[in-house]
Amino acid sequence: MQEAMPLICEYGFKKLELERIEGLVESENLNCKRALEKMDWTFEGMNKNCELKNGNLISIDTYFKQKKE
């Protein structure tokens, strides 16, 4: 993920002219959250009990990367 994500973001910002890219992560997925934070993604908030997974409600955290000016 740490090798591919910068390339994906670069493509999105330069080729697709995106201003912002969002990442949605299960709140309990600490490894993925740490990886996003290491790559300077910003935590925006948590949607508590918003999705159903295997019959249980789970929370989703939202992270984002903003295009640099």
The H or E element containing residue 7 is helix 4-10
What is the span of the domain harbouring residue 18?
Answer: 4-66
pTM of the model: 0.88
pLDDT digit string, tens, across residues 9-57: 999 999 999 999 999 999 999 999 999 999 999 999 999 999 999 999 9
- What is the total count of domains within the chain? 1
Tokens of 25: 């992560």
The residue behind tokens 């009990």 is 49
3-state SS, residue 4: helix
Asked whether the predicted pLDDT for residue 2 surpasses 80, the reply is no
CA-nearest of 35, 37, 32, 40 to 60 is 32
Confidence grade of residue 3 (pLDDT, cut at 50, 70, 90): confident
CATH of the domain at 30: 3.40.630.30
Helix (H, G, I), strand (E, B) or coil at 42: strand
